[in-house]
A and B are shown apart, each in its own frame.
Chain A
Amino acid sequence: MAWQSKQREIGTAGWGWAIFAGIIAFIYFFPVLWIILTAFKTNADILAVPPKFFFTPTLENFVSVFSRSYIKGQAAVDTGFDRFFFNSIFIAGTSVLLALVIGTLAAYGFSRYPLPGNDTYLFIILTTRMLPPIIVIIPIFIMFRIAGLSGTYPGIILLYTAFNLPFTIWMMKSFFDELSPDVEDAARLDGSSEKRLFFKVCFPQIIAGLAATAVFGLILTWNEFIFALLLTGVETRTVPVAMAQTIGGDIGVRWGLLAAIETLFLIPVIIVVFVLQKHLLRGVTFGTIKR
């Protein structure tokens, strides 16, 4: 009978609460909604007082993301934003993937073959993320200069990989710690080598955790600004940096253009979260439910 009462509780969560939750969600989501609306407005509609909720949508802002004239009266030229979007996707994707591969293997090691002083190593790994970026940025900038990594893809990808590693290792270790060691012993008895054991027994069990870690890593990397500003060049520039450089110019801030860039910038994140959402929920709640 226990399940019945449980189900009823969920069923009768009530309209009151549902509307309340809806209002809260709307407040949280409103800035995003406003940006999306702004992206479809003409400049006149954007600056209208009181603000307009109903207007004739235009795609003009989206067109000027990719090509526009910089000086009044001149012909429109390519802005290079297609390149910047590619850079953002390529750099974030590659570095998160690298961090996941390295971090998952490291986490498995930390979890299953602890060294003397294991926790100290883990702590040290985490301390690399405790310093504010502004403190480490000058030494890194100089190192990149000397190593010739400034403005290159390998440079920024390496940096973001290192950036994502501590978090990935800690997350993945906690997922591995949750797995029953008996299951692995069972696989050993069933004849699996240590390598097959990892790929056929451990790995499939932590895919949800992997998805959650990937999403957090992607969001972090996707939005990163300071390192990208200093360490990427014209060729490797990411969207956040390019966006910042779009502000200003001879006709003041073009809000519609910025909103259009932001709207486009949101799309990949939404797609990733949508695709991984089933795993994401499980990954985030992993370990909070004791089996």
Chain B
Amino acid sequence: MSILSVTGAEKRYGSINALAGTSFEVEAGEFYCLLGPSAAGKTTTLRAIAGLETLDAGRVVFDGQDMTGQPVQGRDMAMVFQTFALYPHLTARQNLEYPLREAGHDAGEIRQRVGEIGELLRIAHTLDRKPSTMSGGEQQRLAIGRALIRRPKLLLLDEPLTNLDAKLRHDTRAEFKRLHRELGMTIVFATPDQLEALTMGERIAVINEGWIVQIGTPRELYAAPADRFVGTLVGAPTMNLLPAAGSDGKVALPFGEIGNGPWSKTLADFPAETELLFGFRPHDIRLAGPEAGPALRVDAKVHLTEPLGDITVLDLEAGDAVFKMVLPEEEAVQYRVGDRVAVEINPDKTLLFARDTGAAIR
């Protein structure tokens, strides 16, 4: 059963449409990601759920109750702000105590819960310090602690990792998964980082310009993006996109023709010379083997190499097109800029988009 549903949410700020009819449902206990670039409407969505923003149209139903127009106070949900929004005049301990005091818990209960949260989030040693004297990671854990201490049914997280350094971000991703598993609460997690969404989200709603573009599991978004926006947003390095023309279920590329893709049947019904965008992921390109297979073989020239430690990204040039491929470091060392390399593009994993609308053709 869905614990939270947002239906047709609209919010305008002057001429800006922050939300333009956003709808999605979150299941109880789910780790739900809202993935979208900056200014997509993630914060506005979370704030609308929390009641901090009044919607121009649409409804928010939480736990079977219509929340539209209800006060912020007393909702069984907590939010971690992108800025952390800790109480600067209070110590870490008092920050944790604040929501419990407002809810009228007795002193013994408060002491016990603060102790528990301090342990859980490993901030017990900082409890008597003010937020301004704590490190970024400690502040973030304190903000999460303050949200968790009330044991809310729903936890809203607004880019909680964006203000942390890379190493800390990596560790904290694992931490979030652990917390979610241990506490079993419903989490809505807003992030502009596809990696965070893919690694943590059980389901992901991709949001752009106030619209939900696609909802799916990480695998679904990666393998079958609804449009070019999702296709290029999800996956790193970014998917290769080449302008192409389609006829008779086949696609003409600058370096050859490819057929037998998952899109072939649909494409067969399209008029000849339909303008397309051909997408294929850098991870799905192989070095060509000795015998010819069903894959499209491309003779390319190395244009640029970008070693990233265990993998290397090669920029290849074929026809007048440039595209990226990913190779394990030990296979990539043999290639220098200007070398010739033969690669194969397996049609099974390629994607096709209409050039005008960007919609996927499947």
Contact = CB atoms under 8 A, between A and B. Distances in A.
A-B interaction: yes
A183 B52 contact: no
B87 to A, nearest CB: 6
Interface of A: 180, 182-183, 185-193, 196, 201, 204-205
24 contacts: A180-B83, A180-B85, A182-B82, A185-B72, A185-B81, A186-B79, A186-B146, A188-B72, A188-B73, A189-B50, A189-B52, A189-B72, A189-B73, A189-B77, A190-B78, A190-B98, A190-B99, A190-B150, A191-B102, A191-B103, A192-B102, A196-B102, A201-B87, A204-B89
Interface string B73-93: 111011101110111110000
Contacts of A186: 79, 81, 85-87, 146
Given A183-B86, A187-B87, A193 B73 contact: yes
Contact of A205 (B50, B89, B150): B89
Contacts of B150: 190
Contacts of A185: 47, 50, 52, 72, 79, 81, 85
B73 A183 contact: no
B78 A189 contact: yes
A201 B47 CA distance: 20
Chain B interface helix/strand/loop/mixed: loop
A177 to B, nearest CB: 15
A186 B96 CA distance: 12
B87 A183 contact: yes
Contacts of B47: 185
Contact of A183 (B50, B74, B85): B85
Interface string B39-65: 000000001001010000000000000
A188 B102 contact: no
B74 A191 contact: yes
A95 B348 CA distance: 81
A209 to B, nearest CB: 13
Interface in B285-313: none
A205 B88 CA distance: 7
Given A182-B81, A182-B85, A188 B52 contact: yes
B85 A191 contact: no
The 10 tightest CB contacts between A and B, nearest first, are: A182-B85, A191-B102, A190-B99, A186-B85, A204-B89, A188-B72, A182-B81, A183-B85, A182-B83, A191-B73
Chain B interface category by residue count: 20 to 34
B89 A189 contact: no
Nearest to B84: A182
A234 to B, nearest CB: 47
Contacts of B99: 190-191
Given A186-B146, A189-B73, 19 more contacts: A182-B82, A182-B85, A183-B85, A183-B86, A183-B88, A186-B86, A186-B87, A187-B98, A188-B52, A188-B72, A188-B73, A189-B50, A189-B52, A189-B77, A189-B79, A190-B150, A191-B103, A192-B73, A205-B88
A187 B88 CA distance: 12
A185 B89 CA distance: 16
Contacts of B82: 182
Query: Which of A183, A204, A205 has the largest count of B CB atoms less than 10 A from its CB?
Result: A183
Contacts of A201: 87, 89
Contacts of B73: 188-189, 191-193
Contacts of A196: 102
A281 B93 CA distance: 27
Nearest to A181: B85
A190 B78 CA distance: 7
Contacts of B87: 183, 186-187, 201
A196 B50 CA distance: 19
Nearest to A204: B89
A190 B95 CA distance: 10
A188 B47 CA distance: 12
Nearest to A185: B52
A191 B98 CA distance: 9
Nearest to A188: B72
A180 B82 CA distance: 12
Interface in B185-203: none
Query: Which of B73, B103, B150 has the largest count of A CB atoms less than 10 A from its CB?
Result: B73
Nearest to B79: A189
Contacts of A191: 73-74, 99, 102-103
Contacts of A182: 81-83, 85
A187 B97 CA distance: 12
Given A196-B102, A205-B89, A190 B81 contact: no
Nearest to A201: B87
Nearest to A179: B88
A193 B73 CA distance: 7
A201 B99 CA distance: 12
A188 B150 CA distance: 14
B105 to A, nearest CB: 11
A23 B98 CA distance: 51
Nearest to B73: A191
A279 to B, nearest CB: 13
A186 B47 CA distance: 11
A59 to B, nearest CB: 46
A192 to B, nearest CB: 5
A189 B75 contact: yes
Contacts of A205: 88-89
Contacts of B146: 186, 190
A131 to B, nearest CB: 37
Interface in B126-147: 146
A204 B89 CA distance: 7
A196 B101 CA distance: 12
Interface in B150-195: 150
Nearest to B132: A291
B325 to A, nearest CB: 42
A182 B82 CA distance: 9
Contacts of B102: 190-192, 196
A141 B26 CA distance: 69
